[in-house]
């Protein structure tokens, strides 16, 4: 693959900064760097622009250093909250990534930070607070506190009865008499004490039901006829 030398006019991560002379693929330079004005061909005419590019680079790096120094002071006072899903036992599903931390910094504090500047020595796989290193500049580093919390609601344990309520329930249980047999029957110990307390009454013989004698029905007495009333003779009135 053909290579060509170019002079970078902008800072390109992984390739170089302004005024750097680098060798790249001819197609990459022709199709991307030159159209985007990120580089110029290495010629005698363009070499005269190196001093201007070096001055621009120095100004840019000074500005970045001041900006990142101020950011490092502010970040040290922050606590970035990251919520993750967990199981019932509190264990995380997966791990916290640099992209998640960068997104939360933008969302919570409006800080735009390239995730490549966030350095994790070990993957975060546990809840709690963790110290994360930020490589903001070649000469500036900072430490960010990241608090990982669970977004899954934990099951609420059943409330245990108060000790006073337990003691009251135990006393009530002791006060209740033991019941045996059918309802309404007193227990054997209570029955024995009741019999001792009351004198034994003489058992009365059961009264035999007397047979009722049938009384003969009386015949109906015929009604006596009343004597007819005698009419008094009418006296003739004298004329």
87-116 confidence digits (pLDDT tens): 877 788 889 999 999 999 999 999 999 999
Which tens digit of pLDDT belongs to each residue from 194-214? 554 454 444 444 544 444 445
- pLDDT at position 223: 54
> What mean pLDDT is predicted for residues 47-63?
89
- pLDDT at position 22: 92
**CATH of segment(s) 71-150:** 3.10.430.100
Which tens digit of pLDDT belongs to each residue from 67-94? 999 999 999 999 999 999 888 777 888 8
Which tens digit of pLDDT belongs to each residue from 129-167? 999 999 998 889 999 999 999 887 665 555 555 556 555
- pLDDT at position 44: 85
Is 20 in contact with 8 (CB distance < 8 Å)? Answer: yes
Ordered alpha helix ranges (H), the chain? 26-28, 44-47, 50-75, 98-109, 163-175, 188-197
**% of the chain with per-residue pLDDT over 90:** 38
Is 112 in contact with 106 (CB distance < 8 Å)? Answer: yes
More confident residue, 48 or 208: 48
| Residue 61 in this model has a pLDDT that exceeds 70 | yes
DSSP string, 96-156: B-HHHHHHHHHHHH-----GGGEE-SS-B-SSEEEEEEEEEETTEEEEEEEEEEE-SPPPP
Looking at the domain 3-48, which fold is it? Ribosomal Protein L9; domain 1 (3.40.5)
Q: Where are the domains of the chain?
A: 3-48, 71-150
Instruction: List, as own/partner pairs, every contact residues 31-35 make where C-beta atoms lie below 8 angstroms and the sequence separation is at least 24, other chains included.
Output: 33/6
> What mean pLDDT is predicted for residues 217-221?
51
């Amino acid at each position: 693959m053909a290579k060509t030398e170019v002079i970078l006019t902008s800072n390109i991560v992984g390739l170089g900064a302004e005024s750097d002379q680098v060798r790249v693929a001819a197609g990459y330079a022709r199709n991307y760097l030159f159209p985007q004005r990120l580089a110029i061909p290495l010629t005698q005419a363009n070499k005269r622009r190196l001093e201007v590019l070096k001055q621009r680079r120095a100004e840019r790096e000074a500005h970045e250093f001041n900006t990142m120094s101020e950011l490092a002071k502010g970040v040290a006072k922050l606590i970035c909250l990251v919520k993750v899903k967990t199981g019932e036992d509190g264990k995380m599903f997966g791990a916290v990534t640099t992209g998640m931390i960068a997104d939360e910094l933008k969302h919570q504090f409006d800080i735009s930070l390239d995730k490549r500047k966030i350095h994790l020595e070990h993957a975060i796989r546990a809840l709690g607070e963790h110290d994360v290193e930020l490589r903001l500049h070649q000469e500036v580093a900072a430490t960010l506190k990241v608090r990982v919390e669970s977004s899954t609601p934990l099951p609420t344990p059943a409330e245990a009865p108060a000790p006073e309520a337990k003691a009251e329930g135990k006393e009530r249980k002791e006060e209740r008499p033991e019941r045996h047999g059918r309802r309404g029957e007193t227990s054997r110990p209570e029955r024995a004490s009741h019999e001792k307390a009351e004198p034994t009454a003489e058992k009365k013989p059961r009264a035999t039901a007397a047979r009722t004698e049938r009384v003969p029905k009386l015949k109906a007495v015929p009604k006596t006829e009343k004597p007819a009333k005698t009419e008094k003779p009418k006296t003739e009135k004298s004329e």
